[in-house]
Structure 1
Amino acid sequence: MEDTVSALRSLMVSHSPPLDALVVPSEDYHLSEYVSARDKRREFVSGFTGSAGLALITKKEALLWTDGRYFLQAEKELSAGWKLMRIGEDPAVDIWMADNLPKEASVGVDPWCISIDTAQRWERAFAEKQQKLVPTSKNLVDEVWINRPPAEINAVIVHPVKFAGRSVADKLKDLRKKLVHEQTRGIIFTALDEVAWLYNIRGSDVAYCPVVHAFAIVTSNSAFIYVDKQKVSVEVQTHLVENGIEIQEYTAVSSDATLLATDELDAVSTAKAALAETEARKIPSEIDKSVNGEHQAEENSNDLIWADPVSCCYALYAKLNPDTVLLQQSPLALAKALKNSVELDGLKKAHIRDGAAVVQYLVWLDKKMQDIYGASGYFLEKDSVKKEKHLQSLKLTEVTVSDQLEGFRASKEVELTEQLSIYLDMLFLEKILLKKKKW
């Protein structure tokens, strides 16, 4: 880790302007807490493997901020060259930088990895000493990460309406109504769960999270998704195009944000042209257009662009005119939280399937404990005399019983992720322990 920090300090010195400090957040370009292997930059730099934290490298110090979940873990994983900063006990990172860095210090950060809200809060903290936040053109950690894991090409899949409960067209219609209500003409989505929910797609780009690395921009007339096209099958392409969504390369979101700022994005949309041709055949009335939220640009004279200050990265915000940006919580936050009848039914069925698998597993475990160890049965008491068998060959471990439980779950209609499985196991054990306490 010391070599990595030294290499970063060399890049800080040669950077223009030279950097007095470098911030390495945990988040990826979508500000996710849980990230793919190639986006674990803070872990690579510090050696700390927790999901939440922030590393700060100055000319002489290396500090790591994390929350109470990880204090003990960080103490064990950080090397002697690092100082643990406990959130809630030590000064917040912006306060520490403002107080400890010199006047007019330059603090570097990858603008793709911090939110609008965070960047603006830091800039306010820096104002008194004329310190400045410097967005780096490249991620300096990537420059020194020689064996950085490659990007994985995981297929995008369509999330059927029979599970989603709402069509993409219906979601876009409601979204465009909200755009009109807030007097905006476009919105940028960077949060992976919001892109997946809005366009009814799923993926496996992040372990245990069914999401796709993708951005989205929706205007009064057009809709775009920015994703590695190698991940898009013919089925997914058809699904997106039929819903008026134009597929762009992942990196094109930066230039398209610039076009959005100048109100030129709709003009380059091929999907818009195709959709317009389809709509022309339907000859919708002006009333229908108003109800559907399909207002033409000239009908919506508003010039604001909507961006969620907490979930939108600072890099895309910097492409916009700050005077024409509506900084407000994403309209999808509440929409995602309000589950429709199909989603509620799916949740109930998931619990029933998993409950059946857990009971099946517990009966299996109970029998194995009797057969192998001669333990008293919790569910069933065998009539035969229990005999202890060869423990070395038949010994149960956390791994073997976990694999068996996964096998039971996989045999059901829909397999749960390992992360959810662990949670449900813990929930069951908690109930058992509470029951034993009453005894």
Structure 2
Amino acid sequence: MFQSFESTADPAQAAPRMARLRALMAEAGLDGVLVPRSDEHQGEYVPPCAERLAWLTGFTGSAGMALVLRDKALLFVDGRYTLQARVQTDPALFEIESLIDNPPRAWMKANLSRGARIGFDPWLHTVGEIRALREALEKPGAQAVPLERNPVDAIWEDRPAPPMKPVRVHPLVYAGETAGDKLSRLAERLRERDIDHTVLTDPSSLAWAFNIRGNDVPHTPLALGFAILSAAERPRVFMAAEKLSGETEDHLRALAALHAPEELEPVLANLARSGARVGLDEAHAAEKLRLVVEEAGGAVVPFADPAALPRAMKNEAELKGARAAHLRDGAALARFLAWLDGQTPENLDEIAVVRHLEECRRRAGQEAQMPLRDISFDTISGAGPNGAIIHYRVTEKTNRKLARGELLLVDSGAQFEDGTTDVTRTVALGEPSLEMKDRFTRVLKGMIAISMLRFPEGTRGVDIDAFARHALWQAGLDYGHGTGHGVGSYLSVHEGPQRIARTGMETLRTGMILSNEPGYYRAGHYGIRIENLIVVTPPEPVPGGDVAMHGFETLTLAPIDRRLVVPGLLTDAERDWLNAYHARVLEEITPLVEGDTAAWLRAATAPL
């Protein structure tokens, strides 16, 4: 499964490609063009045919946007990718800007000239994004211009074809609820809001609502397509017939009317002509859908994806699957970490680490008769300074030898049919420095703080994010990413709407799975991150208290490197938590591994 990620990204080709793009801009009377890293579904993972940003700039991160003007170009990325963007792009062509602190609309508001015309593909930007862009462009008197054809597509001669991977029915034993029951719930939600129709644009919502899975994008079992749900009519699914076997076609036909993808616009326009109220999720639905509805005379109503919240709140079958997947994953991680401990670091490189970990996961899946379907994202294997690149992806060009005295950060995950995993462990290679141990222990304290937290109903991710940062803040340290993201059930490893972050405004509810992953990164030297997956437990009374409290159940079962822990920096409660966690790892994983690994595991989980 490991591929040295090069795709069609080639910084050496950026200059001629930019020249051709600017020629098209001149022909169209445009002063600039936006090139986002997105597809029609606004997902994190996109098929090769939608990797326009990588093809044009060389940057391969999972989030970013280029603004190409006639005389300059800017690449906007978030804090995860600042270092990566500088390495992967030609500094003579692209200036690097912050996607968070100075996003494209803010930069254009401050810098564009009056009358400037900025082209954009309305399929690749959300309703809310374009509204904010138009508001920002009012000040300089500039204009956002929707384009009929994407200009990058016009010059990308060998652009890959859209994916046509087969769609599978997701078994009820893992889904825990029939698709018919889910669709009935969603239709009731539309009636409650007096909405006639809504478009499911997120393939994760499509997969969850119809109990299907696919393989159209890397590492996430999604079948790309759309659905129109209605308050009083049968659902409609828009998906290429080539993807559907007899079983999946029968499954979907029992639930919905099937249409070809190109029928989405005319069908939606026809529904809107009656003056229908069409709900669109402004944070996820493409601007093109708003244009189709309003041009046909319909009314667009802001309406959050009705599948997002129920999808995030895992039922008992999904939680059972998650626990089983993490037990299996724990066996793989124990074998991997034991193997790593027995190697001479200088004999390994980052790619060898990735390949061996994937082999451990394949073996664990075979032993449990639950095959590894895929990794859940490109494994991050960052040795030494590469570990400080938050979303580093090793390539043949960047592959680094391991070395004593350094840290190795490995962030990885698996896709099993019963669950999705995501875990990070930072490992000492030889003797770590006192600074490394101090920083690691502060990160660990933050991870434990979230793990032990009790919180009342109505608490949001933003309300608890600081608990993970407290020990770092006390030393004048921090990290430039959220503390936790939602995780799907054999779906996306990055799932909304729940998250633990400064931007985490969604209430944390029973059954939501999140990551718990504080970190610390010293650029040019090392990176530290410790990540477990956790699930929100039902509110329970606290002895002597007045208010029932939620808590977290930890799903991940893997040792945390004790050699990097400074015991004196832990409180008694933190030490007790770590010892109890390691005792649980030992008890649950030992029966699944062989003698040598079991012996290593006993030492790795010994009490502090």
TM-score (norm 2): 0.58
Task: Tell me if structure 1 keeps the 8 A contact 2:332–2:357.
Answer: no
Match of 1:345 in 2: 320
Larger Rg: 1
Q: Deviations over 1:224-246 (max 9, x none)?
A: 11111101111011001112x11
Check whether the contact 2:272–2:298 (CA below 8 A) recurs between aligned residues.
no
- Tell me how far apart the structure 1 counterparts of residues 113 and 423 of structure 2 sit (CA, whole Å): 51
Matched, 1:216 2:215: no
Q: 2: distance between equivalents of 1:258 and 1:303?
A: 10
**Structure 1 residue 426 and structure 2 residue 424: aligned?**
yes
> Could you tell me which of 407, 411, 416 is aligned with 2:362?
407
Give how far 1:332 is off.
1.3
Q: Which amino acid aligns with 1:225?
A: V
Q: How does 1:181-220 map to 2 (within 5 A)?
A: 181-219=192-230, 220=232
Q: CA 1:336–1:82 in structure 2 vs 1: closer, same or farther (change >3 Å)?
A: same
Q: Structure 1, unaligned stretches of length 5 or more?
A: 264-301, 376-390
Counting helix residues as a fraction of each chain, which structure ranks higher? 1
The Cα shift of 1:323 comes to 6.8
Q: 1:328 to 1:152 in 2, by over 3 A?
A: closer
- Higher RCO structure, 1 or 2 (CA under 8 Å, sep 6+): 1
* Alignment-derived partner of residue 232 in structure 1: 244
Q: Please state how far the C-alpha of 1:251 moved relative to its aligned partner.
A: 1.8
Q: Is the 8 A contact 1:154 1:205 kept in 2?
A: yes
Aligned ranges 1:281-320 → 2 under 5 Å: 303-320=276-293
Which residue matches 2:254? 242
Amino acid at match of 2:365: A
Aligned 1:139-150 pairs, distance under 5 A: 139-150=150-161
**C-alpha contact (below 8 Å) 1:360/1:408 kept by paired residues:** no
Say which is worse superposed, 120-129 or 55-64, in terms of deviation.
120-129
Give CA-to-partner distance per residue, 1:212-267, whole Å, 9 cap, x none. Answer: 11011011212111111101111011001112x1111112111111112114xxxx
Distance 1:172 1:354 in 2: 32
Out of 348, 354, 359, the position equivalent to 2:329 is 354
Deviation at 1:360, TM superposition (A): 4.2
The residue aligned with 2:36 is: 25
- Is structure 2 residue 281 aligned with structure 1 residue 324? no
1:128 aligns with 2:100: no
Amino acid at match of 2:314: K
Q: Give CA-to-partner distance per residue, 1:88-120, whole Å, 9 cap, x none.
A: 44x321122133222122110110000000011
| Structure 1 residue 334 corresponds to structure 2 residue 309 | yes
Q: TM-score, normalised by structure 1?
A: 0.80
Output the CA distance in 2 between the equivalents of 1:144 and 1:434.
Answer: 54
Q: Which residue of 1 aligns with 2:168?
A: 157
3-state SS of 2:81 partner: helix
CA displacement at 1:318 relative to structure 2: 0.5
Instruction: List per-residue Cα deviations over 1:180-235 (Å, max 9, x = no partner).
Output: 11011111111111111111110011111110110110112121111111011110
Name stretches of at least 5 consecutive residues in structure 2 with no aligned partner.
1-13, 380-411, 414-421, 428-529, 531-558, 568-607
Residue 220 of structure 2 contacts residue 376 of structure 2 at CA under 8 Å; is this kept in 1?
A: no
Q: Report what 1:100 is aligned to.
A: 111
* Contact 2:120 2:147 survives alignment (8 Å): yes
Identity %, equivalent residues: 29
**Deviation at residue 404 of structure 1 after TM alignment:** 3.1
Residues 45 and 175 of structure 1: CA distance in aligned 2, closer, same or farther (over 3 Å): same
Equivalent residue in structure 2 for 1:398, among 344, 353, 362: 353
SS across alignment from 1:351: helix
Q: Distance in 2 between matches of 1:317 and 1:172?
A: 23
Counterpart residue identity of residue 260, structure 2: E
Offset at residue 425 of structure 1 (A): 5.7
Q: Kindly provide the amino acid, as one letter, of the partner of residue 227 in structure 1.
A: M
Q: Note closer, same or farther for the CA distance 1:95–1:426 as it changes in structure 2 (3 Å cut).
A: closer
Secondary structure at the aligned position of 2:236 is classed as strand
Following the alignment from structure 2 to structure 1, what is the Cα–Cα distance between the partners of residues 336 and 113? 60
Question: For the residues of structure 2 that align with 1:392 and 1:434, how far apart are their CA atoms?
Answer: 23
Most deviating of 18-27 and 97-106 = 97-106
